[in-house]
Structures are given as C-alpha cells and as structure tokens.
C-alpha cells in the first residue's frame, strides 16, 4: 500500500464527508493505493456515525473510536500503530489542511528520500492573537531542537516514512514535537514543504491559549530527556556538586573570617549570627539533594526496560 492517511478528530461531523471525498478524488487521480484512518477522539457529536457510513461505502476507510477524549497525541499514536502504508500522511479533520498537498508530500518521501516532511503554512488565515504566539513558539522550538529548517513544528499536515512512525512514541501532548522525536530516534532527514492553509469552514477551534504554555513545558521536557534521559547524574550530579562546593567554600570563608578577627583582637560575632552561614548551609543541603536525585535517577534508568533500546537501521 502506498499511503496511509491518519486523521485525528474531535466533533467534526460536518467536515468528514467533504474531507474524505476530497482525499478520495486526489488518490484516484494519482493512482495511489491508500487507506484513511479516522481516529475519533471521544467526540460528543455524530462523528462516529459519519465514519461508519463512510466505511460502509468504501473499504479504504478505517476507524478507531476512543471511549473519551484523550487528546491529539494519543490519537496519532493509535493511528500510527494501525497504519500499513509505505508513507504515512497526517492531517487535521477541519478542512484547513488541503489533501491536494498529498502527492507532493509523497514524492518528497519516496523520490527525495526524506524521513519526514512537515508542512509550512506560510500564509495563514488566523488572527494575530494566534499567529504571533505561534511564531515565537516555533522560533524557540527551532533553537532548542536544533532543527533549523522548520518554520511550523505544529502543522498537522506531515508525511513520514513508515519506519519513522513505527519507531517513535507520541504521548502526552508531544504531537507538536514529532520532528524532534524523530530526530532523537535517528531520523535526521527532515524536510519542509510550503502548504496551503484554508480558513475553517465548520465549527470552531478545539485549542486555546493554554496550548502555548503546555507547549513550552513539553519542549523543556523533551530537551531534558534527549540530553540527560539516560544519564541523569550528568545533570543533577554536576549541579549538586557545584552547589555543595559553593556552600562549603562559603562556610569556610565565614569561619576563617571569624578566626582571623579573634586572632587580631578585632570585634567579631558568632558564626550563627551571619546570614551567609545559613545561605551556605542551604546551598550544601540543596546540593546534596540534587546529587541524590541524580543517583536515584541513575538507578531508575538502569532498571528501565528500554535502556538498551537502540535504533538499528539494518543488519547484514
């Protein structure tokens, strides 16, 4: 099979028939063998009934229904697990992603040998309250991930080699950083394609401003895990050691200062009267705790079942 199209959705009953008809038209005109996997993320409208009717009409339609709303990342994870195509395309169900982009994305994967191609909605039909935070968010993501050539990490329209989706784990709200996850898994041929963005035709957006806050927190999590996930002592141990040594040196300075004043017959005060003494002790305690956190992290890491789960590309 050439292409699997994975479409996570939540309350999109109005757009689904039009979206599938559009995909079907594009696939037939290009001679692709394909499947369309709709992942119903706990919709409260009639989205599942629409998917069932589409399935009755065509065996290219497949459906997954969640008992409740889990989010886009779990929907993509389950869709990826079911995908059978050589190339996997993801898109949103709200008709803002154009299926006409599918042939171009497919060719970039097959002919140009990219592992992943992300869409870039260069011209957006969104208000400034959404576009400005998006630009800031993407600039930060480029800096932290090191993937400099992507302008829109969160674009729902993406294409993947099948090996990519079978070797990454999309969880929580990490769908925003699938290119980063792919890079960490060893898939470094990541490209970008300018795609057309269309104004929403039905319903309203399911994402609020909180996604930007959550996005930054998820980005920090990914950065930390990619750098220190299997070697937490390198972070906590180093930071804890430096803080402990800083506190120890500060305590010694305070003590030596008092002894010097005593030896010279100068006025002095008790060590415990100095605020620097307590700051030093606090630094030593925190440093010890950070070091122990790193040690415990190493114990957890060494007992994790995936500690030796390396990405082997081929064997001969």
Q: Where are the beta strands (DSSP E) in the chain?
A: 3-9, 34-40, 61-65, 87-90, 116-120, 158-161, 190-194
Q: Give me the pLDDT at residue 304, please.
A: 62
Residue of 68, 69, 93 lying closest to 14 (CA atoms): 93
pLDDT of residue 308 exceeding 90: no
Closest CA to 144 of 177, 166, 171, 108: 177
**Percent above pLDDT 90 for the chain:** 52
227-236 pLDDT per residue, tens:
776 678 888 8
Of the candidates 12, 145, 137, the residue with the CA atom closest to the CA atom of residue 75: 12
CATH topology of domain 3-228: Spore Coat Polysaccharide Biosynthesis Protein SpsA; Chain A (3.90.550)
Position 227 scores a pLDDT of 74
In contact, 216 and 140? CB cutoff 8 Å:
yes
**Distance between first and last Cα of the chain:** 26
Strand partners, 63: 38
The per-residue pLDDT for range 123-142, each reduced to its tens digit, is 766 666 666 777 888 888 88
Express each pLDDT in 36-79 by its tens digit: 999 999 999 999 999 999 999 999 999 999 999 999 999 999 99
Q: Where are the domains positioned within the chain?
A: 3-228, 233-302
């Amino acid at each position: 099979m050439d292409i699997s199209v994975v479409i996570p959705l939540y309350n999109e009953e109005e757009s689904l028939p039009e979206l599938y008809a559009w995909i079907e038209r594009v696939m037939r005109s290009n001679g692709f063998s394909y499947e369309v996997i709709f992942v119903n993320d706990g919709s409260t409208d009639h989205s599942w009934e629409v998917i069932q009717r589409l399935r009755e009409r065509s065996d290219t339609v497949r459906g997954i229904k969640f008992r409740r709303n889990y989010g886009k990342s779990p929907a993509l994870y389950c869709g990826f697990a079911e995908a059978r195509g050589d190339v996997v395309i993801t898109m949103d169900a709200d008709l803002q992603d154009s299926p006409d982009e599918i042939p171009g994305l497919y060719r970039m994967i097959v002919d140009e040998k990219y592992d992943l191609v992300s869409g870039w909605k260069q011209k957006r039909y969104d208000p400034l309250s959404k576009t400005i935070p998006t630009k800031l968010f993407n600039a930060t993501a480029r800096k932290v991930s090191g993937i400099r050539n992507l302008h829109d990490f969160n674009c729902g329209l993406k294409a993947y080699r099948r090996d990519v989706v079978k070797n990454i784990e999309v969880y929580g709200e990490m769908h925003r950083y699938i290119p980063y996850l792919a890079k960490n898994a060893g898939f470094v041929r990541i490209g970008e394609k300018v795609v057309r963005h269309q104004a929403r035709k039905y319903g309203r957006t399911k994402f609020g401003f909180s996604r930007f806050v959550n996005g930054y927190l998820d980005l920090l999590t990914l950065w930390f895990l990619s750098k220190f996930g299997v070697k937490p002592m390198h972070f906590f141990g180093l930071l804890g050691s430096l803080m402990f040594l800083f506190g120890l040196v500060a305590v010694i300075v305070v003590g030596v200062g008092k002894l010097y004043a005593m030896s010279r017959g100068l006025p002095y005060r008790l060590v415990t009267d100095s605020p620097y003494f307590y700051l030093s002790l606090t630094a030593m305690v925190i440093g010890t705790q950070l070091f122990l956190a790193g040690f415990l992290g190493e114990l957890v890491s060494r007992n994790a079942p995936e500690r030796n789960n390396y990405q082997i590309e081929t064997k001969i």
